[in-house]
Chains A and B, each alone.
Chain A
């Protein structure tokens, strides 16, 4: 006997119970603590904070735990929490020149004032599975890159905690690279106001900053392969701690309220110019919290390709198309809409069924006559 599906409530409850069980896994295995996630899966935490647009490592760790490591689910959880928080105001712009630098590399000059500082990076590790980690061992005593430290230009760096000039700033002085323009309009909060195309660069960067890492990476890659080429050079990538200040109206000045670990990427791109205008390098910008270097670089590449209109370049590739890029960069929106296909569409499908049958009948009648 056929019984139409009802009792959704019970089904949902059971699903949640199963999910909780699955999330916890084998109870014999100790439960993950948020400290463990924050400490040992820091890059996952960074990603969730960036795309969740909430800079709270502990909550991000909780989201990761609750989502069983599903990053988009974790980002979703964090966003859903963020939206309930009150807004107290807007901080002063951070000054990355004053960063306490953890890592700083420039690919355009062999050496720069302040030096190249490799910092903690997977870049020069050989991707060989380390079975000592599997054996619950401590960090390997034989660091595959240990002999790198003998190379002079890496050890002698002791970054001046006061200031380290940005590489592009030095090039700006010679007017070889464009000087960035500040926003014409006060920055808006994308999470409070909808996007209104065309958008200014600051808003665009805001959208990219919370955009999906994989999506931006693929778009950035496409520009390198010729779909909207921008001839990029990694002018400077720096990671470190900056101070965040809030203006206090009652005091009439700003006070530091905390510190952020951030990663900044400035790309130097193909020059513009004509017979009349001297050629000048253009630039792309990426900024993320934590050590999210992949995302910061992708963001900088996509930022530059989205400036095609500004430089009167022909817009012919996906990465140059502002509406295409920004309308699809939010993974919570994207997964929401893709996943909604799982919802019942009985009624819509029924209408289609009815129509297709009618069309086929009409055709059969015609063929018969």
Chain B
């Protein structure tokens, strides 16, 4: 495909004059991972919510190209259609897996929900698919009837990923998917994510304040400060040769930790 899957132009949602998301434009190409980095309060999570239709913009345009190649202007799409896109074309991985899972429903039920939502009515098939997805995200398939309530944070996050990817979405939004996890758990999860994204060829927009995560996953980076994009480019380019002083600080802070 030679067209971006998502095209955003001058997207604005201002909470105060210098807070929120201010005139952001970006393109996401099929199969690429776009990282959005910046310190907390820079507007990156707001941008993600706007792009994924979880929040509506004050102004601007967000054009999404669906499976059939039909352009859909998300800012003018009614909630019903947005929710349908949410089940079929999008995936949303929340930072806190509790926001994206049904904690008292079994792991199998969590993965199966989207399948049943799009009409799968064969218990055996649903279960088999759920098992294979558990394997895919490196959860023991024997835990299929376990409730995520009793899972560790890392397992919950893996389950959330499986639950989202099971219907082959074309664009996945991730908000700090490794936030709140131990470093070793983070590393394993990042490996899994990188493998899945690569194997499935899905486009991903990932928000993170962690430059390590950005370097590992993202093909391209946008740097946000006070609601605006101040720098963008290929990940290596931005990280190895940051132009803005702000970006240099972000990169430096991570290098110290590493």
**In the complex, A196 has a CB within 8 A of chain B:** no
**In the complex, B103 has a CB within 8 A of chain A:** yes
Residues on the B chain within 8 Å of A316, using CB: 104
Interface of B is mostly: loop
**In the complex, B149 has a CB within 8 A of chain A:** yes
Complex CA–CA separation, A275 to B144 (angstroms): 13
Q: Which of B95-128 contact A (CB under 8 A)?
A: 103-104
Chain A 285-307, CB-CB to B under 8 Å as 1, else 0, gives 00000000000000000000000
A-B contact count (CB 8 A): 7
Residues on the B chain within 8 Å of A275, using CB: 145
**In the complex, A314 has a CB within 8 A of chain B:** yes
Residues on the B chain within 8 Å of A314, using CB: 103-104, 147, 149
| B104 nearest in chain A by CB position | A314
Residues on the A chain within 8 Å of B103, using CB: 314
Complex CA–CA separation, A314 to B148 (angstroms): 11
Complex CA–CA separation, A313 to B147 (angstroms): 11
Chain A 262-282, CB-CB to B under 8 Å as 1, else 0, gives 000000000000010000000
Complex CA–CA separation, A83 to B149 (angstroms): 45
| B149 nearest in chain A by CB position | A314
Complex CA–CA separation, A313 to B103 (angstroms): 11
Chain A: interface residue count, which band?
under 10
| A314 nearest in chain B by CB position | B104
* Chain A nearest Cβ from B110, distance in angstroms: 14
Q: Which of B144-189 contact A (CB under 8 A)?
A: 145, 147, 149
* Chain A nearest Cβ from B99, distance in angstroms: 14
Residues on the A chain within 8 Å of B147, using CB: 314
* Chain A nearest Cβ from B250, distance in angstroms: 31
Complex CA–CA separation, A221 to B189 (angstroms): 44
* Chain B nearest Cβ from A319, distance in angstroms: 16
Residues on the B chain within 8 Å of A313, using CB: 104
| A313 nearest in chain B by CB position | B104
| A316 nearest in chain B by CB position | B104
Complex CA–CA separation, A268 to B103 (angstroms): 26
Complex CA–CA separation, A275 to B103 (angstroms): 20
| A275 nearest in chain B by CB position | B145
| B150 nearest in chain A by CB position | A312
* Residue of A275, A313, A314 with most chain B CB atoms under a 10 A cut-off: A314
Chain A 309-327, CB-CB to B under 8 Å as 1, else 0, gives 0000110100000000000
Q: Which of A309-363 contact B (CB under 8 A)?
A: 313-314, 316
Residues on the A chain within 8 Å of B145, using CB: 275
Complex CA–CA separation, A316 to B147 (angstroms): 15
* Chain B nearest Cβ from A321, distance in angstroms: 15
* Chain A nearest Cβ from B132, distance in angstroms: 21
Complex CA–CA separation, A316 to B145 (angstroms): 21
Complex CA–CA separation, A314 to B145 (angstroms): 16
Complex CA–CA separation, A275 to B142 (angstroms): 14
* Chain A nearest Cβ from B148, distance in angstroms: 11
Complex CA–CA separation, A316 to B103 (angstroms): 11
Q: Which of B199-213 contact A (CB under 8 A)?
A: none
| A274 nearest in chain B by CB position | B145
* Chain A nearest Cβ from B151, distance in angstroms: 13
Residues on the A chain within 8 Å of B149, using CB: 314
Complex CA–CA separation, A42 to B250 (angstroms): 75
Chain B 46-75, CB-CB to A under 8 Å as 1, else 0, gives 000000000000000000000000000000
Complex CA–CA separation, A15 to B104 (angstroms): 56
* Chain B nearest Cβ from A165, distance in angstroms: 37
Complex CA–CA separation, A316 to B102 (angstroms): 12
* Chain B nearest Cβ from A186, distance in angstroms: 34
Residues on the A chain within 8 Å of B104, using CB: 313-314, 316
Complex CA–CA separation, A131 to B131 (angstroms): 69
Complex CA–CA separation, A313 to B150 (angstroms): 12
Chain A 194-224, CB-CB to B under 8 Å as 1, else 0, gives 0000000000000000000000000000000
Q: Which of A16-44 contact B (CB under 8 A)?
A: none
Complex CA–CA separation, A313 to B149 (angstroms): 10
* Chain A nearest Cβ from B241, distance in angstroms: 41
* Chain A nearest Cβ from B45, distance in angstroms: 26
| B145 nearest in chain A by CB position | A275
* Chain B nearest Cβ from A263, distance in angstroms: 34
Complex CA–CA separation, A316 to B105 (angstroms): 14
Complex CA–CA separation, A67 to B93 (angstroms): 59
* Chain A nearest Cβ from B160, distance in angstroms: 18
| B103 nearest in chain A by CB position | A314
* Chain A nearest Cβ from B167, distance in angstroms: 26
Complex CA–CA separation, A316 to B104 (angstroms): 10
* Chain B nearest Cβ from A231, distance in angstroms: 15
Complex CA–CA separation, A19 to B90 (angstroms): 68
Complex CA–CA separation, A314 to B101 (angstroms): 14
Complex CA–CA separation, A273 to B149 (angstroms): 18
Complex CA–CA separation, A275 to B146 (angstroms): 12
Chain B residues engaging chain A, CB cutoff 8 angstroms:
103-104, 145, 147, 149
Between A and B, 7 residue pairs with Cβ closer than 8 Å are: A275-B145, A313-B104, A314-B103, A314-B104, A314-B147, A314-B149, A316-B104
Q: Please give me the 7 A-B residue pairs with the lowest Cβ-Cβ distance, nearest first.
A: A314-B104, A314-B149, A314-B103, A316-B104, A275-B145, A314-B147, A313-B104
